[in-house]
Structure 1
Amino acid sequence: MVICSHPLATRAGVDVLKAGGNAADAALATSICQTVVE
C-alpha cells in the first residue's frame, strides 16, 4: 500500500513494489517522484 498526495507519485511507489522492491525502495521512488511533480 502506498499513499501520498499525488497520484503519479503513488503509482511510482506501487510500480516499485510490484517489480519486487521493498518498502524502502517504494518510499524512495515515491519521495523522488513527489519532489518532481510538486
Structure 2
Amino acid sequence: MYCSKSQRMILNKEGARIANIYAQVNNMRKRCFPRICGH
C-alpha cells in the first residue's frame, strides 16, 4: 500500500507518540508492581 510522504510522517508521529505512552506505562508498572511484572 502506497502512502504519501505527509501521510507517512503523520503515521510515524502518531506511532512514536503511542510507543512513548506504552513505554511510560510499562515503566510505571515496573516501578509500582515489580512482583506482578516479575522484574
Which protein is bigger by CA-based radius of gyration? Answer: 2
| TM-score, structure 1 as length reference | 0.48
Q: Whose relative contact order is higher, 1 or 2, with alpha carbons under 8 Å and at least 6 apart? A: 1
Structure with greater helix share of residues: 2
